[in-house]
């Protein structure tokens, strides 16, 4: 794996040997996670550019290892562009089952050092180790031990930022990538923060950065020296106050142990634009089943069903409907999502997505059959499918409408019949 030269990493001045007194927040980020998991499974790829993502004409890069990034390949890039920039790369479809398995194992390692773990995604988390010192030593020591264990157990690397706040810890890990450890002492926050470009501040994208540049503000330190009132005309009152606080390293947020996702979703980009209603229905059904299964696996249910529709010219529409009661049943999601799609689609569709929003915990006994509904209905059936999928893998049970002409189940004791 290619690594950033030490001279190019600002984190070099903030290595693990610095005073971490008062620094109880760790931000841990796996390095090129999907690609790293694939390389761990196939070590012969370690020296090759490895790109993971959709392999079709409209596929998107999900992850690229650092060797691939040397060729200008980055996540969220269209796969056709990646292939053009790096024709010698190894291109692999994502294996989300494997990534989820490694993610859970890594998060379990984090939990051994502190119960205060806030996952941000499958490959990223904040840890609060303020109560872990007696058992495991300083924050820097814990960070180093976690890095060692992740590498030894899973053959992948992670980068850790150690600081007194979530904002600075996140910045530290970003600056230390890949496979690094950065500590920003309480007394050294401004020395670390102020030379950084304004884009390092949360909420500053290209448009905001351009507006700040017109004011002559290009570094975080320059923003810190400007009264918030001067920023309001460019970014607005709330954002001006927000940027001013961050520019001085102030971030009062705590690690949230019980973070609840706001939505569960899935989407698909078609190889060619789709106009046929039956093809759209098949896609919506598959997405609804996938979203419902993910919700059940996460132990949540939602009241709002939303769809995303993108046409060939990239015009994107979002529509939603709120139900009287929460659900985690794919049949419910499909019915509402299909009504929204039917009422909205007016041209061939490039992409379609289904989301379940307004989530709440779905503990035992939360689901009550509706009036006139059998005691054991569609939810029980779908949960049975979940169990079969967990035991035998995906696709063992599939709605008949999702089967293609070559997917007819083979008769027991004979060959598949094609009439």
CB neighbourhood size of 416 (10 A): 10
**pLDDT score, position 394:** 52
Q: What 3 state SS string does the chain have?
A: CCCCCHHHCHHHHHCCCCCCCCCCEEEEEECCHHHHHHHHHCHHHCCCCEEEECCCCCCEEEEECHHHHCCCCCCCCEHHHHHHHCCCCEEECCCHHHHHHHHHHHHHHHHHHCCCEEEEECCEEEEECCCCHHHHCCHHHHHHHHHHHHHHHHCCCEEEEEECCHHHHHHHHHHHCCCCEEECCHHHHHHHHCCCEHHHCCCCCHHHHHHHHHCCCCEHHHHHCCCHHHHHHHHCHHHHHHHHHHHCCCCCCCCCCCCCCCEEEEEEEEEEEECCHHHHHHHHHHHHHHHHHHHHHHCEEEEEEEEEEEECCCCEEEEEEEEEEEECCHHHHHHHHHHHHHHHCCCCEEEEEEEEEEEEECCCCCCCCCCCCCCCCHHHHHHHHHHHHHHHCCCCCCCHHHCCCCCCCCCCCCCCCCC
Residues forming the annotated binding site? 29, 123
* Edge-first strand listing for the sheet containing 300-311: 263-274, 349-361, 300-311, 316-327
Q: Which CATH architecture has domain 263-402?
A: 2-Layer Sandwich (3.30)
The yes-or-no answer to whether 1-185 and 194-247 have a common fold is no
The answer to whether 75 and 62 have CB atoms below 8 angstroms apart is yes
pTM here? 0.68
At residue 324, what are phi and psi to the nearest 5 degrees? -65, -30
Q: 158-186, pLDDT tens digit by residue?
A: 999 999 999 999 999 999 999 999 999 99
H/E element holding 306? strand 300-311
How many CA atoms, within 13 angstroms, populate the side-chain half-sphere of residue 307? 27
Q: Give helix 237-247 / helix 228-235 axis angle, nearest 10°.
A: 130
Question: Would you write out the chain's pLDDT as a tens digit for each of its 419 residues?
Answer: 434 443 345 556 777 778 899 999 999 999 999 999 999 999 999 999 999 999 888 888 999 999 999 999 998 899 999 999 999 999 999 998 899 899 999 999 999 999 999 998 889 999 999 999 999 999 999 999 999 999 999 999 999 999 999 999 999 999 999 999 999 999 999 999 999 999 998 878 888 888 888 888 999 999 999 888 888 877 888 888 888 999 999 999 999 886 556 789 999 989 899 999 999 999 999 999 999 988 888 888 888 999 999 998 888 899 999 988 888 899 999 999 999 999 999 999 999 999 999 888 765 444 444 444 444 455 555 656 555 455 555 554 455 455 454 444 443 344 333 33
**pLDDT score, position 183:** 96
**pLDDT score, position 385:** 58
Q: 66-91, pLDDT tens digit by residue?
A: 999 999 999 889 999 999 999 999 99
- The pairing of beta strand 300-311 with beta strand 349-361: antiparallel
Domain boundaries, the chain: 1-185, 194-247, 263-402
**pLDDT score, position 15:** 72
Catalytic site includes residue 124: yes
Catalytic residue (one of 112, 124, 339, 357): 124
Distances (CA, A) of 197 to 84, 145, 161, 219, 233: 31, 31, 18, 4, 20
What is the rounded distance in angstroms from the CA atom of residue 328 to the CA atom of residue 302?
Answer: 7
The answer to whether 335 and 357 have CB atoms below 8 angstroms apart is no
Question: Is domain 1-185 annotated with CATH 1.10.3720.10?
Answer: no
Structural fold of domain 194-247: DNA polymerase; domain 1 (1.10.150)
**pLDDT score, position 366:** 43
First-to-last alpha carbon distance for the chain, in angstroms, is 53
**pLDDT score, position 392:** 52
Residues forming the annotated binding site for Mg(2+)? 29, 123
């Amino acid at each position: 794996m290619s690594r950033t030269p030490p001279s190019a990493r600002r984190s070099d001045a903030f290595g693990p040997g610095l005073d971490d007194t008062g620094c109880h927040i760790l931000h841990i980020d796996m390095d090129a996670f999907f690609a790293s998991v694939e390389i761990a499974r196939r070590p012969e790829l370690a020296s090759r550019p490895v790109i993971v993502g959709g392999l079709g004409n409209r596929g998107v890069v999900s992850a690229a290892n650092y060797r691939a990034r040397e060729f200008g390949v980055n996540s969220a890039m269209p796969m056709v562009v990646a292939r053009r920039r790096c024709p010698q790369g190894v291109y692999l479809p994502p294996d989300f089952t494997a990534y989820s398995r490694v993610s859970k194992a890594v998060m379990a390692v984090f939990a051994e050092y502190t119960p205060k773990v806030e996952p941000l995604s499958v490959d990223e988390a904040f840890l609060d180790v303020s109560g872990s010192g007696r058992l495991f030593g300083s924050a820097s020591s814990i960070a180093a031990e976690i890095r060692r264990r992740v590498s030894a157990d899973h053959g992948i690397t992670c980068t850790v930022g150690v600081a007194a706040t979530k904002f600075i810890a996140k910045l530290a890990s970003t600056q230390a990538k890949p496979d690094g450890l950065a500590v920003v002492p309480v007394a050294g926050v401004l020395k670390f923060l102020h030379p950084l470009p304004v884009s390092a501040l949360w909420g500053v994208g290209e448009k905001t950065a351009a507006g700040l540049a017109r004011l002559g503000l290009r570094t975080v330190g320059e923003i810190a020296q400007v009264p918030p009132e001067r920023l309001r005309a460019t970014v607005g009152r709330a954002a001006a106050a927000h940027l001013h606080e961050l520019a001085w390293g102030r971030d009062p947020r705590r690690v949230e142990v019980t973070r609840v996702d706001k939505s569960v979703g899935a989407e698909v980009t078609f190889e060619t634009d789709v106009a046929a209603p039956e093809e759209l229905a098949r896609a919506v059904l598959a997405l609804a089943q996938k979203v419902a299964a993910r919700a059940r696996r996460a132990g949540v249910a939602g009241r709002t069903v939303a769809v995303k529709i993108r046409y060939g010219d990239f015009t994107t529409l979002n529509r939603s409907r709120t139900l009287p009661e929460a659900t985690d049943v794919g049949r419910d999601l499909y019915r509402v999502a299909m009504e929204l799609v039917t009422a909205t689609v007016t041209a061939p569709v490039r992409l379609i997505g289904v989301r379940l929003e307004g989530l709440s915990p779905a503990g035992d006994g939360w689901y009550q059959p509706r009036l006139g509904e059998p005691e054991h209905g569609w939810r029980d059936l779908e949960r049975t499918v979940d169990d079969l999928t967990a035991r035998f893998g995906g696709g063992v049970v599939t709605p008949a409408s999702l089967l293609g002409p070559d997917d007819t189940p083979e008769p027991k004791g004979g060959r598949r019949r094609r009439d």
